[in-house]
């Protein structure tokens, strides 16, 4: 997700310093942050859906998984 953050920052700089320099910086900032949040949610959901269930549960101990001494 660090890649999304880096891309959002570069996009914001291009908007502010580039050909769209006339655009108010607050609007550009809010749109950039909003899109970055949406992309992060979509990528996190996609990663969770494509990860096999067994690998998500590996290493987790439930309440009934304690070893009896």
Per residue in 16-51, pLDDT tens?
Answer: 998 878 878 898 899 999 999 999 999 999 998 988
pLDDT at 21: 81
On whether residue 59 sits in a domain, the answer given is: no
Minimal CA–CA distance to 36: which of 3, 9, 4? 4
Number of compact structural domains in the chain: 1
Q: Which residues contact 11 (CB under 8 A, 6 or more apart)?
A: 32
**Tokens 């992060």 sit at which residue?**
40
The mean pLDDT of 52-58, rounded to a whole number, is: 68
pLDDT at 66: 65
On whether residue 61 sits in a domain, the answer given is: no
Q: Which domain holds residue 27?
A: 2-49
On whether residue 43 sits in a domain, the answer given is: yes
pLDDT at 24: 87
**Tokens 């570069």 sit at which residue?**
10
Q: What's the CA gap between 13 and 21, in Å, rounded?
A: 10
Q: What's the CA gap between 12 and 19, in Å, rounded?
A: 12
């Amino acid at each position: 997700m660090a890649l999304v953050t880096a891309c959002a920052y570069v996009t914001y700089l291009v908007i502010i310093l580039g050909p769209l320099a006339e655009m108010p910086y607050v609007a550009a900032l809010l749109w950039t942050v909003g899109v970055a949040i949406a992309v992060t949610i979509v990528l996190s959901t996609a990663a969770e859906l494509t990860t096999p269930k067994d690998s998500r549960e590996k290493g987790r101990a439930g309440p009934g998984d304690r070893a009896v001494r």
